[in-house]
Every structure is written in structure tokens, then in C-alpha cells.
């Protein structure tokens, strides 16, 4: 019996560090959501004492988020790995959303911030985000490294995100 395809929406670190075996990836667009540093990171890029910030998908009716539709080579193993990584604190909802690609629409797993969760960092200015990102460090390294790796990956995919570009200008690379 064939296992159905598993598509995942990569909009941040899943682009440069997917943690799964990839069968295929293609540019994709998700309507109604935006990429934003709106999740307090107390595990990977910060600590409980000094939280960092990581990207999350935030619902925004008129927004469009560009990223990658990633088809997992092993759907079962990929879903297990993604859940261990992304659902570590239950700040994300795992949703199946429709991505637009040039080859047609695909349904993909996407991780969306829970606006009721304590880790939702609501309404931080870009300047405040930069202050937090510049100093935070977690189990996977400096928060600034996460920002700069994401910016480089987006640039490499031809994705223009003005907020990310602005943050890169405000946060020096991790030393």
C-alpha cells in the first residue's frame, strides 16, 4: 500500500534546516498568513530566563507568505520528526493548509502560532524583536544565527521579506 504524499510548508528554518529527507521542493505561496517573529523561544533559540524569538505563521486575512512546498521522501518518518521538533511546547497548531505552486495547489502541513498560548509574542516592534534576537541563545545556538540563516535561505529562494531584511540590518551576525 502506498503512503500518501506529505507536503510541508517551509517558511523559516524548515527551508535551511528541514530535518527530514526531501523528495521534492518548489516555491509556494500561502494566503491568509504572514511570517513573523512572534513566538517566544524558550528551548531552541532562547531560554526560560531569557527567551528568544522564532518565526511563526500568524493569521492575517490580507497577507501572503512565500516559502517552499516540501514533499517528504518518507511521510511517516517526516511527520514524526516534525512533530518532535515543532510541537515541543504546544505553541503551534499543526494545520493542513492549501499552498499555491506553479504546478498546482497542494495541501501541506503548516505550523501556525496559537494566539492564546503564553509563547505568542504579540505586537512586538521590529526594533524590540531585534533587541531580543541580538542577545538570546538557546539549545540550538544564538537567536541571531537563526535570523541570519533564515534571511540567507529566503534570499537564495528569491523571496523578499522586508521585515527580515530590516532585522538583518539591526542584528549583527552571531559571533
Known catalytic residues are 86
CA-to-CA separations, 166 to 4, 75, 136, 161, in angstroms, rounded: 40, 36, 18, 9
Q: At what angle do helices 143-156 and 162-170 cross, to 10 degrees?
A: 140
Query: Rounded to an integer, what is the distance from CA 2 to the centroid of its chain?
Result: 29
C-alpha cell at 55: 518565526
d(CA 44, CA 41): 6
C-alpha cell at 8: 510541508
d(CA 89, CA 102): 34
Residue 34 near residue 58, CB atoms below 8 Å: yes
Amino acid at each position: 500500500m502506498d503512503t500518501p504524499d506529505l507536503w510541508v510548508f517551509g517558511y523559516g528554518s524548515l527551508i535551511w534546516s528541514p530535518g527530514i529527507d526531501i523528495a521534492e521542493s518548489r516555491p509556494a505561496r500561502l494566503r491568509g498568513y504572514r511570517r513573523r517573529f512572534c513566538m517566544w523561544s524558550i528551548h531552541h533559540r532562547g531560554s526560560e530566563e531569557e527567551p528568544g524569538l522564532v518565526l511563526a505563521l500568524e493569521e492575517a486575512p490580507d497577507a501572503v507568505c512565500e516559502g517552499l512546498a516540501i514533499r517528504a521522501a518518507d511521510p511517516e518518518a517526516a511527520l514524526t520528526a516534525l512533530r518532535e521538533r515543532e510541537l515541543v511546547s504546544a505553541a503551534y497548531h499543526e494545520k493542513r493548509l492549501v499552498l499555491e505552486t506553479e504546478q498546482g495547489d497542494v495541501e501541506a502541513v503548516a505550523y501556525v502560532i496559537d494566539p492564546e498560548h503564553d509563547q505568542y509574542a504579540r505586537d512586538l516592534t521590529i526594533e524590540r524583536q531585534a533587541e531580543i534576537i541580538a542577545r538570546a541563545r538557546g539549545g540550538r545556538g544564538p537567536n541571531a544565527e537563526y535570523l541570519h540563516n533564515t534571511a540567507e535561505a529566503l534570499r537564495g529562494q528569491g523571496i523578499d521579506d522586508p521585515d527580515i531584511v530590516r532585522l538583518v540590518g539591526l542584528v549583527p551576525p552571531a559571533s
